[in-house]
Every structure is written in C-alpha cells, then in structure tokens.
C-alpha cells in the first residue's frame, strides 16, 4: 500500500513515520514540507537515519500525490486541510486528516470554535474513533482523526453516558498534557526553562477540543451533553491524563459502572481496563496505541471519577490514524501498532 | 527568639532551616533526628554548608528543648506529634506542628481518617491558616499547620463558599502536586525513572487532606461541605496547582465572584490575585510563600473554576509555619519570607 | 526459538520483554523472579498488559529451564550469574549474561574490581560487542554482554586506538547517564526530588566499567590502554552520552580520523556516523539499538573529541543482547530491533 | 544606593531583580527594555508581583539613567554593551557589564572570538571574579562580569595552575549546563520537547567562553594556557557542573593538591570546598551564590579531576555581579546574597 504524508515535519508527521517504519504493508510514496522542501527527512529528524532516506517535496502537485498514493495523511493546520482534502479525494485516493477540519458533523460548530469558513461542506467524512465508530471507518474514504484530549476524554466517559449512569449536566473533565501536544513551533509556552518544574491550566472554557468531546458524548447519550473542560500543561514531553467527573444518577451502583466499561471495551485490544480502583499512568502507554482506563466511585459525594491515559502522539494522533488505516484496508487493527510501551 | 525543630531532616524540616537562615529574629536552639543523631546537619544536607554548622540531637530530652526554646516546630509523622506536643506545652514553650495531629476540631474525624487514637484531646490548638484565622493564631500557643493540598484548595474556594456563590454539593477539586510532597522516604512512587515523564492520580476519594479541606470550607460556608478531591502526582519537585470547580448559584454573576475574591484577599500580602481569566503557574511561586489565584466563569455550564498555585514546601508547609510564628510573636508577617520566587 | 529470562523484573529484564514482544522468531518460555515469584508480569509492569499474560516463577529449577529453552538471558547481580550460567550451560542451553561475570578475559581483573571470587573460571565466554567481535559471537554458546557506559565508550574510541591515531595514555572519558542505569532498586541517588534539576559526577576513578573499557581498547590497540573514566548522573531516565578525549599522534590529520570511523563502521547498521562536526543526542537513539557517533578535531590543542550516544537499556543492555541472540542463531541482526527511536 | 538595570527582561536581568529585592542597601532606579518599553515588570514576570511595581523604560536617555544611578548593570548582547558602557561611564556612574564586552585584556582576542570590532578600547575594566581579583574589583568603576561556564571552570582549576601542579597543556574541561544559560530567546535548542530527556554536546572547540577561561588561567599560571573546552546541554533549568582534567606534574602528590585548594579558597565564603573525594551537585547551589568544589586523584593515570558546581544565573551571572557591587561599595560581600540554596 502506498502512503503519503502531507506536512510530514511536525511531531504528528514524524510520529507517523516512526510508526509506519514498522508497518509491514506500507510503503511511503511522498512526504511533503513547504518550509523544508528538498531536504532529506533524516536531516530534519536525525533519529530517522538508517530508517528513511527520502527527500521532502512540496505539496503543490497534489494530483500526482493522489494518483500515486492509496491513502494520504494530512498533517496541516486546521483551515488548510480541507482544501487539500478536496483535491486529494477528487484524485481518487483515501484521506485521513489529523487536524480538525473533518471532525464535525455540524459545520456551524466548527466555524464557531475555529473562526474559519468551511469550504468542503459536503465532505463524506467519518469521525475516526474506531472504538465507537468502527463500522463507519471500515467504509470510509475520508477520516477526521480525533484530537488528543478528545480521544482520552471520550473513551473515559462514553460508557457512562451511553448507559445513562451519570447526570449529563454534571461532567467536568480535568486533563493534563505533555508539551509535545503544542507541536514543534516555538513559543514561550514550550520554552524549556518556562515549562520545566511548572504546571498551569490554560484556555479554560474555551479549548477547541471541547465541542468535539461534546459531539461524541451527545451521540452516545442520545441527548445533548455540555461539559466543562480544563486543559493543563505539565512538564513532560508525551502523554495525556484525563480525569473525568460525573454525578451518578439515583439508583446507579458500582456494579453498573463496572459492567458498562466491560461491555463497551472488554474486547478492545487498544483499551486496557484497569478496573474499579485502577490508576492509569501515562508512562504505561508511552509510545504505544493503548488507552488505559480506571474508575472510582466516591460514595461520599455520589460521583464517579473515570481516568484515562494515552500517548497524545499515538492513540491521540498518529497511532489512531494508523489504526484507522488498518480498518479501512481490511488489515488486522494491530498491524504496525504492536510495539510495547517504552518504560521507564 | 530561640527556635527548635523536632524532626529536622525531612524536607519540611530542611525547608524550615532554609527559611529561618534568613530570618533576622530567629536563632536555632536544637534540631533533632533520631536516625541521624550526632550528625552535623550540613553532612545530611550539604547545601546548608556555610549557613549552618550544627549537630542533630535526639529528641529524648524534650523537656530541656522546651525550656530553652521560645517555640518548637514539630516535623514528626502523624500520631507521634501529639505526644511530643503535650510534653512541650507542659514545658512552657509554644508549638507549631507541621503534621495532622492538631488540625482537626472534631477528634472523631481525625481518628476516622488517620486510624490513630488521639491522645491529646483537650489540646488548645488553632488551625494555622492565617488568611482565615489570623486573630486566633495571634493568641495561640499551639498551631496545627495546614497541609499542602489543603492550603491551596481552601484558599481557592473560601471566597466562593463564604459568600454563598456556589452550590455546596458541587465542589470538585483536582489537584496536581510535585513529588517532594511525598517526602524524602524512598518508594517506587518517588523513584526517578518511574515518576519522570509520567502523571497519575492516586488516593481518589480517600486522601487525608479531604476532611481538612471540608472542615475549613464548612466553617466558611456555615454549612456542611463535602467535596470530591483528586490528587495527582506530576514530574516536578515542588509546587501544587489546585483546580477547583463549583456550580454557580442561580443569579450569581461574574462580578459577584470578582468581588468575593477582592474582599477576602485584597489586602493579603501572600495572596496574589491574578483576577478573572488569570492563570496561576506553580513556577511563579517556587521558593516563596505566595499563593497565586485566578478564576474563570464557564458560562456554557454555569460553573466557576478557581485555580491556585503554591510551593508545597513553603506556603504549603514551612513558610506558612514561619508566617504563623511571625503572627504569634507580633512580628511583621513577612519577616524572613520576603524572598522572591526562584524563576526560571 | 524458546527464550527464558532469569531475573525478569529489573529494568533490563523488562526491556528484554519489551523488545522480544516484537521479535518474530522468539517465544518466551520462562521468566523468573525470586521476590515476585507467582505474580503475573503484567501486574509488576502494567505497561506490558495485552502483550504478556505470564507468571513469574522461581529460578530454582534451572535444569528444567535449560532443557526447555534454546537460550537464556541472565539478569542477575554480578557474582550470582556465574553459578546460574554454569548450570544452564551444563543443561545444554545457550546463555547471554547481561551482568559483569563473563565480561573479562582476565579473571584477576574481575576479582580486583568486583571483590568477588570467580567460580566459573573456564567459562567459554565471548564478549558480546558485535561490531568488534561478531565472528566470535556467531560461534558462541555463552556471551558476556557489555555494560552501558562501556558500549558507548568503546565504540567511540575503537577506530582511534585501532588505527594508532591517538596517544594511548591520553584518553579521558567523560560520560553522562540517565537514572535508569541505576536500576529499579530504591536509593536516595535515584529519588526523584534529589535527582531532578541536578547533575553530579560519581565514582571517579573507580567505576567498574573502567577495566571493561580498557580490556577492549587494549585489544584494539594491541597495547595496554589505561583511561580516566568519569561517570555522571543527569536528570533523565534513559540515555548515555560519552564524550571521549584523546591527543592526536604527530602527523595525524582530520582525514585520517574520518577514514578510521568510516572503515570500521561504514557498513554497520546500528552505528550511525554523524561525521566530523556531528553532535549525537541521546534522544535520537531513545528506545532503539542505534549508537550515534560524531567527532571533532580541536586543532588548538591537538585533540580529537569523539562523542557517542546510546539508549543505555537498549544498545547498552537488552537490545545488544538481542543483537547477539540474532547473530548466534543466524538471523538477520536487525530482527526485532527495527523500531524507530521514540522522538520527541 | 540607586541601581539601574539596562536590559532587565532577560533571565540575567530578572535574576538581578530577584536578588536585589532582598538587598538592604539597594533601591532600583531604572529598569529598561526596548521590546517591552512601558510595560510593568510584574506583567512580564508575574512571579515578581508584590515585590516590584515598576515600569520598564527605554534606554535611550542613558545620560539621565547615569545621573540618577550610583551603579548600572548592563544586560545587553555582546557588541552592544560597550556603546552603553562608554556613555554611562561618561555620565559618572559605575558599571557592571554581564556580557562579554569588557572581559578581555587583549582586545584582539575578543574581536577574533566574537567577530565584532571593539569600540571602547581604553575602557578601565576589571575582570570581576572576586576570588581572584578582589583588590582590583574594590577600586573598579567598570566590571566585566565573568561568564557562567567560565566562573565554574576557572575556580576549579586556578589552584592547580597557580601552584604548578598540572601540565599546562593537559587541561580538558567537560562542562554541563542547564538550559537557562541559553536565555529566554526562542530556539529549537531550548524547545521543551527537544531538550527534555536529552543530552548533547555543542560548540566543541569553539565556545566563546574558552578564551576567557584561558585568559584567567594563563594569568594564574604565569604562562600561556590553552584548554579543550566542551559544553553540554542537559535537561534542567539552572546549574553548571564543570569537570576539569589535568595531568599531575611529576612529584606532585595528593596533599599538594589539597593544600592548593585550602590555601586559595579556605577563607572564601562563597566557595565551599568538599575536599578530596567530594562530589559537588548543582542542586546544592541552586538559587545561591555558592561554588562547590571537590577533587579526585586518579592514581592509575596520574590525573587530577576537579569538579565544580554553580548556579549559572547566580554565581555564573547576577549573584557574582551583586558580589562585585558589594565589594565596589565597601559592603559585606554577602549582603543580599545570604539566601540558602533551594533544595530539593
């Protein structure tokens, strides 16, 4: 299978390259970068030496890329992916977009939160969270690959809202992310000396992953869900921990909660249930496509606290994209994703 | 003023020594350690060389220590401080206990959460959170110095409950702590390779700082407050960030919230209000006795999110203890606590 | 091929399990632990869940393990491996020891530096540094797998001493290691709060990897080499950077140095030559079996500085052991070791 | 005493503000920034709130600043400080420059390494390393404050070269620095995700602190000293560890070395001698003006290894500048510098 990556030099593109290097069914066709056009990828990322020896090209000849690729990953900023996506689909290739452009059913929600006009309104996109939408992913030609906070938070809460175990207006999501989620672009917020030995919240009430979480949870619940979502930046490179709070409905007991998780995820390879009382740790997922989930009942307050851990660049981005590719092409879902987490 | 420290070799004791080295009115009388009795403190902590040249002694002659000290800090494990506190008070000295033994009004609460019988039931203890109990601290001879999570969480929430701005049953506290909070004792949980590049929650629903938070908030509210409290361990040495959620009562608007914080803390030197929309960062408080607070209204969900940052070893332990000492002895509250935070 | 691991719960044993999980020709027969005998490995290391579901057993029935294994890795403390090695070899299996017991040609050197009597003096051991001893490894039934500092330092210096480019008495090796090199055992030296935001040297002139480096360099040089070796502990989990200094012999120029590296390593897959002026970074090797090497001529002082980077747990331990296994069994050397480094 | 800081928003300027906040004899007159002219310093650095409430101004009216200041600190890039220094001296104030412009006796050396023409050739500058040049500092009106690597390396080696204990052509300096040394300017080299869990060397043979080290050591030796100097970047914010190697001259023994350090530094408050066998750790100096030194004899190779640790922003920059100020104005050298290191 021939695979191309548009925008290959960000952390997401580089992570795709890392994963695909071990994927037995994939051959890289094109990798693009406008700023480093003509450069060998192993000059940009020396850790890929002896694994890749390939030049970055411009994305301006997108039609050729479409023609010579069975599938194309888009690693472009939101607002830019949809133009490329349109041309690629027209060229007959499949597309997985790792940004936000194809994640929303309701274009108005996208436009409100992202302040950009959507120019590919009738896109046949599928939301690529396999554990919830696997059958649709199987038929898809265009995937909107979920965000990192989103993946962790939805997976932690879906069993609770789907099975009507918590009050829908009670959800609070407190998430902690490593700095790689902010990408490779330079900013004081990812300057080492500022970020090290530091923790802070940001974008309270306004982070763009909020509507994405609400969209999926509302579908699971069959009712509108509105959440409070607070992202935090913590001093590590990879990993997201999402601590999710909800008030149990009257009459719900701990067994109901246990069963909801078991029923929804008991057969999922990439979700590891730590059970009631279990404590996920981001380190246990680092470098892998696993999402670890544990949950707790706070009987004093009647709340359930569901905690999930992922590697933001893998299950929260590139790994999930490869999982989607596997499903779209009828491969075993684990193909190329069987690496054990890197611990310690 | 002659000051002694019982249990001087833990991080709290060492932090007291750091702070007191710059306190103009204090002279160290005795420092004790049972395990390193006879050792010079600057062998145990080489960073204190050229600042201290003093031997650790055993605490077995507590009466002599009491006689020769104007005040004694207790840095003993919970359950052990009360025996020492009793003897020290009997010896005529004042006492500030940095552990849990003297923090609770209701002994039953202490005994339930700490699984220890309280043996100093009639102790004349005052809860040493100066911003809420300053007048009592002024008269006190025995202080129960608050815990680290506790200080951050109470200060973030007190204006909201005192002014009846949030539903009392809606409080969720999601706190993140550096590893020094777990002390200098060895454990896999503070083993570098396990903790680095890692984040996890622990003791959900069962952390012992929970009842302490509830005690103070209930007093402020004039009604019983029960909270969900979730501590997390993050890969840094110092600092606590406490992210506190509450549902606004009907009719409360953002100005009410702003005013509540301004009224309660506007004149407090050690509390720095970042205002509505402000984002505290632990790094801004590192090494100092400051508590930074910012708050946010999530109008989509009707919640207020109040965020506080402290240095767990300073405002969360030793610094607050020195602040209490200053108040008890009629000194300017800032004496010895005027160091700027260490940044970056 | 059936593989067993004696002492599977240290970081080296766990890293072997991580690598072998992706090795197509290997099946795990036994994993042992005396302290956690009977426990499932995925309870000890939850990150291995969904990859392994296997109980740890005691190593007391070593004969059965030998019989049912084609090869056995030893992850025991020095002084203990040789007893196990003897019994395993007698049982007809091959052995790779990841400790020091089988690394020395001259038993007296081992006994002097390790203060232990050697009890398996006639062991048919081969020093398992494939880039220097590949043909011997191919025939070996017993491998002494090199240490982590050792691997990095020897590989950086071998071309220089073998080609007589530097004065043999001029070598200084200044090495920096992440904390995982100290293992999972608890100590103040790997206590998070002590190690974070800290760097220090240790064991100057006395580290046990010194004679191992000297043994290999002396063989390459054909003359006795004595080095100054200084290890440092730096605040990261994985990785070793070895900065090696030597005085160029009269008449040697930079081209001679370039050619020496190219000739020795030009065809080696796991050694990536960054060339003259290149700067290895441990992060580029993390999680992989690569050793990156760059070198510099300081013409003002007539020295060459050769710098190497490895992941101490992979090329410095478990990865190199698997590389040796591949060679011993006639497999492609890269089998199971084709993972890209984890970056960032 | 009225003090101004030109270029107050870099880490060095900010560190001066931190230290001076606790200096009893200092009042801040002006703080300047061209990029943030008009902004309050506590908006740029929120950690300084409640300690400073002062606006940044432009440096264009340097004559007024000179007139109203008893001393001015320069925190400008090299090449820019000399123009300001000239005008300030002309205005009658004293000057301490924290950059390189006034550090070199031989202007040609400056111009060769810094590729800038020197425009203040006859400046009456004194090299501000008090432990070596205290009497000159006392009389100075213009100080070239030493660099961070420089301070650590010179102090570690001065007793050895001054007392003719090592071969002058044998010196190798391997130094490790935290990231704050690279300042607050954004670059991929101080981007969190790139720097975290990483170590690398840089500028081998070409770092600009090299000639500064050589200048001081040559003066101490009374002969020209040329060194190999290798800086490394390690994942921490503050701290430099300098590991210095030299070959002992024939006949020199360990007692000679011990005595050289004792004689030179025995009475120095800011130098803490850990003795032969002592291991300095950067953490022990963090936030303080101390320089810790330990040394080791490697009798197998005839080398002495001297290791020093400092906080690069304090003894390596702002703290040393304040130490110089104290000396210039006849104050106790420790004034404002008596803070204990922040540990852990």
* Placement of tokens 């004293």 in the chain: D94
Question: Do D182 and D231 form a contact (C-beta atoms < 8 A)?
Answer: no
- To test the contact with chain D by mutation, choose from B46, B181, B193 the residue with the greatest count of D C-beta atoms within 10 A, namely B46
CB pair distance less than 8 Å for B47 and D339: no
Integer angstrom CA distances of residue D101 from C275, D80, D144, D166, D268: 34, 8, 7, 31, 27
- Which domains does chain B show, CATH number per domain? 2-123 (3.40.50.720), 149-312 (3.30.360.10)
Q: Span B259-282, mean pLDDT?
A: 98
pLDDT given at position A280: 98
CB pair distance less than 8 Å for D193 and A190: yes
CB pair distance less than 8 Å for B272 and D21: no
- Sheet bearing D94-97, strands edge to edge: D27-32, D2-6, D71-74, D94-97, D142-144, D125-127
Q: Which of B307, B297, B291 is nearest to B255 (CA)?
A: B297
D46 touches chain B (CB under 8 A): yes
For chain C, give the percent of residues with pLDDT over 70. 100
Q: Which of C186, C235, C236 sits opposite B191 (nearest CB)?
A: C186
CB pair distance less than 8 Å for C237 and A45: no
Mean of the per-residue pLDDT values of chain D? 97
Q: Is the dihedral of CA A19, A21, A26, A32 positive or negative?
A: positive
* Chain A residues near residue B228 by CB distance under 8 angstroms: 245, 298, 300-301, 303, 305
Can you spell out the DSSP letters for C78-129? TTTHHHHHHHHHHTT-EEEE-SSTT--SSHHHHHHHH----S-TT--EEE--
3-state secondary structure of D182: helix
Q: Which residues make Cβ contacts (< 8 Å) with residue B57, sequence separation at least 6?
A: B30, B31, B32, B37, B38
**Residue D239 to residue D147: CA distance in whole angstroms:** 13
CB pair distance less than 8 Å for A22 and C341: no
How far does D95 lie from chain C, in Å, by closest CA? 33
- To test the contact with chain A by mutation, choose from C21, C268, C344 the residue with the greatest count of A C-beta atoms within 10 A, namely C344
How far does A159 lie from chain B, in Å, by closest CA? 20
CB pair distance less than 8 Å for D201 and C241: yes
Residue C266 neighbours by CB distance under 10 Å: 10
**Residue A81 to residue A32: CA distance in whole angstroms:** 13
What is the CA angle D213-D218-D220, rounded to 5? 100
For residue D188, give the DSSP letter.
Answer: G
* Chain A residues near residue B234 by CB distance under 8 angstroms: 176, 199, 234-236
pLDDT given at position C191: 97
A279 touches chain B (CB under 8 A): yes
Q: Which chains lie within 8 Å of chain B at 3 or more CB pairs, if any? A: A, C, D
State the 10-residue block means of pLDDT for chain D, 344 residues long: 98 98 97 97 98 98 97 96 97 98 97 97 97 98 98 98 98 98 96 97 97 98 98 98 98 98 98 98 98 98 98 98 98 96 97
Tokens of A204: 């309270």
Q: Which of B11, B179, B192 sits opposite C190 (nearest CB)?
A: B192
* Placement of tokens 């040495």 in the chain: B237
Q: Which of C240, C263, C251 is nearest to C312 (CA)?
A: C240
Q: How many CB pairs below 8 A link C and D?
A: 154
What is the CA angle B239-B73-D282, rounded to 5? 45
pLDDT digits (tens, 9 = 90+) for B156-211: 999 999 999 999 999 999 999 999 999 999 999 999 999 999 999 999 999 999 99
Which segments of A240-282 are extended strands (E)?
240-247, 271-276
C293 — phi, psi (to 5°)?
A: -135, 130
How far does D97 lie from chain A, in Å, by closest CA? 23
pLDDT given at position B260: 98
Q: Which of D241, D244, D232 is nearest to D282 (CA)?
A: D241
Nearest residue on chain A to B294, judged by CA atoms? A201
Q: Which of B14, B197, B343 sits opposite D14 (nearest CB)?
A: B343
Q: Is C148 a catalytic residue?
A: yes
Question: Do D298 and D305 form a contact (C-beta atoms < 8 A)?
Answer: yes
Q: Which chains lie within 8 Å of chain D at 3 or more CB pairs, if any? A: A, B, C
CB pair distance less than 8 Å for B22 and D238: no
Task: Name the strand (E) or helix (H) holding D73.
Answer: strand D71-74
Question: Do A339 and A22 form a contact (C-beta atoms < 8 A)?
Answer: yes
CB pair distance less than 8 Å for C190 and B195: no
For chain B, give the percent of residues with pLDDT over 90. 100
Question: Do C152 and C313 form a contact (C-beta atoms < 8 A)?
Answer: no
pLDDT digits (tens, 9 = 90+) for A120-136: 999 999 999 999 999 99
Over D234-301, what HEC string results?
CCCCCCEEEEEEEEECCCCCHHHHHHHHHHHHCCCCCEEEEEECCCCEHHHHCCCCCEEEEEEEECCC
CB pair distance less than 8 Å for B343 and D45: yes
Can you spell out the DSSP letters for A14-80? HHHHHHHTT-TT-EEEEEB-STTTT-BHHHH-GGGTTT---B-B-SS-HHHHHHT-SEEEE-PPTTT
Which of the residues D129, D148, D157, D314 is marked catalytic? D148
3-state secondary structure of C194: helix
Q: Which residues make Cβ contacts (< 8 Å) with residue A108, sequence separation at least 6?
A: none
Question: Do B132 and B146 form a contact (C-beta atoms < 8 A)?
Answer: no
* Chain D residues near residue A180 by CB distance under 8 angstroms: 193
**Residue B89 to residue B70: CA distance in whole angstroms:** 11
Q: Which residues make Cβ contacts (< 8 Å) with residue C46, sequence separation at least 6?
A: A272, A274, A281, A284, A292
pLDDT digits (tens, 9 = 90+) for B9-32: 999 999 999 999 999 999 999 999
D positions 151-190 inside 8 Å of C (CB): 169, 172, 174, 176, 178
For residue C191, give the DSSP letter.
Answer: B
How far does C34 lie from chain A, in Å, by closest CA? 22
Tokens of B63: 């009466």
CB pair distance less than 8 Å for B47 and D343: yes
Mean of the per-residue pLDDT values of chain A? 97
Give the dihedral of Cα atoms A337, A257, A212, A267; nearest 10 deg.
30
Question: Do D32 and D58 form a contact (C-beta atoms < 8 A)?
Answer: yes
Which of the residues A8, A98, A126, A148 is marked catalytic? A148
- To test the contact with chain A by mutation, choose from B156, B193, B198 the residue with the greatest count of A C-beta atoms within 10 A, namely B198
Q: Span A241-251, mean pLDDT?
A: 98
Q: Span A275-301, mean pLDDT?
A: 98
D269 touches chain B (CB under 8 A): yes
pLDDT given at position C130: 98
Which segments of chain B are extended strands (E)?
2-6, 27-31, 71-74, 94-97, 125-127, 142-144, 172-177, 200-201, 228-233, 240-247, 271-276, 291-298, 303-310
Q: Which residues make Cβ contacts (< 8 Å) with residue C232, sequence separation at least 6?
A: C174, C175, C176, C177, C199, C200, C201, C202, D176, D241, D243
B199 touches chain D (CB under 8 A): no
Task: Name the strand (E) or helix (H) holding C161.
Answer: helix C148-162
B305 touches chain A (CB under 8 A): yes
Q: Span C77-94, mean pLDDT?
A: 97
Q: Which residues make Cβ contacts (< 8 Å) with residue B139, sequence separation at least 6?
A: B126
C positions 306-325 inside 8 Å of A (CB): none
Integer angstrom CA distances of residue B225 from A305, B127, B216, C281: 19, 18, 9, 53
pLDDT given at position A231: 98
CB pair distance less than 8 Å for A205 and B241: no
Question: Do C89 and C141 form a contact (C-beta atoms < 8 A)?
Answer: yes
Rg, C-alpha atoms of chain D: 20
3-state secondary structure of A167: coil
Tokens of B4: 């002694």
Q: Where are the alpha helices (DSSP H) in chain D?
A: 11-20, 41-44, 62-67, 81-90, 107-114, 130-139, 148-162, 192-195, 210-221, 254-265, 319-328
Q: Span C88-115, mean pLDDT?
A: 97
For residues A98-116, b (16+ Cβ closer than 10 Å) or e, as one string? bbbbbbbeeeeebeebbee
pLDDT given at position C160: 98
- To the nearest 5 percent, what fractions of chain A are helix, strand and coil? 35, 20, 40
How far does C193 lie from chain B, in Å, by closest CA? 5
pLDDT digits (tens, 9 = 90+) for B30-54: 999 999 999 999 999 999 999 999 9
Which of the residues B59, B148, B157, B260 is marked catalytic? B148
What is the CA angle A249-A251-A255, rounded to 5? 95
Q: Where are the alpha helices (DSSP H) in chain B?
A: 11-20, 41-44, 62-67, 81-90, 107-114, 130-139, 148-162, 192-195, 209-221, 254-265, 319-328
pLDDT digits (tens, 9 = 90+) for A313-340: 999 999 999 999 999 999 999 999 999 9
Q: Which residues make Cβ contacts (< 8 Å) with residue B222, sequence separation at least 6?
A: none
A283 touches chain C (CB under 8 A): yes
Question: Do B319 and D26 form a contact (C-beta atoms < 8 A)?
Answer: no
pLDDT given at position B238: 98
Its pTM stands at 0.98
For chain B, give the percent of residues with pLDDT over 70. 100
* Placement of tokens 């390939």 in the chain: A54
B245 touches chain A (CB under 8 A): yes
Give the model's confidence band at C196: pLDDT under 50 very low, under 70 low, under 90 confident, else very high: very high
For chain A, give the percent of residues with pLDDT over 90. 100
* Chain D residues near residue C169 by CB distance under 8 angstroms: 301
Nearest residue on chain A to C43, judged by CA atoms? A274
């Amino acid at each position: 299978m021939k695979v191309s990556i548009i925008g290959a030099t960000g952390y997401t593109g580089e992570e795709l390259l890392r994963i695909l290097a071990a994927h037995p069914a994939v051959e890289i066709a094109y990798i693009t970068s406008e700023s480093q056009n003509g450069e060998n990828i192993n000059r940009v990322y020396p850790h890929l030496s002896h694994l890749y020896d390939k030049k970055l090209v411009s994305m301006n000849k997108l039609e050729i890329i479409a023609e010579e690729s069975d599938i194309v990953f888009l690693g472009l900023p939101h607002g830019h992916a949809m133009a490329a996506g349109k041309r690629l689909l027209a060229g007959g290739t499949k597309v997985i977009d790792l940004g936000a452009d194809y994640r929303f059913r309701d274009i108005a929600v996208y436009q409100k939160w992202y302040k950009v006009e959507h120019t590919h309104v009738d896109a046949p996109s599928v939301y690529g969270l396999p554990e919830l939408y696997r059958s649709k992913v199987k038929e898809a030609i265009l995937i909107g690959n979920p965000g990192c906070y989103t993946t962790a938070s939805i997976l932690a809460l879906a069993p609770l809202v789907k099975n009507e175990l918590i009050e829908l207006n009670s959800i609070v999501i407190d998430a902690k992310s490593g700095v790689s989620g902010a990408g490779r672009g330079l900013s004081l917020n990812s300057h080492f000396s500022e970020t090290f030995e530091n923790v802070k919240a940001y974008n309270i009430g306004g982070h763009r992953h909020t509507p994405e979480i609400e969209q999926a949870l509302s579908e699971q619940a069959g009712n509108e869900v509105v959440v409070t979502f607070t992202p935090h930046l913590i001093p590590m490179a990879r990993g997201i921990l999402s601590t999710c709070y909800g008030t149990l409905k009257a009459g719900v007991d701990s067994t109901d909660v246990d069963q909801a998780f078991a029923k929804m995820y008991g057969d999922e390879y990439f979700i590891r249930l730590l059970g009631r009382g279990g404590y996920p740790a981001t380190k246990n997922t680092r470098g892998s496509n696993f999402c670890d989930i544990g949950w707790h009942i706070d009987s004093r307050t009647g709340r359930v606290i569901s905690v999930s851990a992922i590697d933001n660049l893998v299950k929260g981005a590139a790994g999930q994209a490869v999982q989607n590719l596997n499903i779209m092409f009828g491969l075993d879902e684990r193909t190329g994703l069987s690496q054990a987490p890197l611990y310690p």
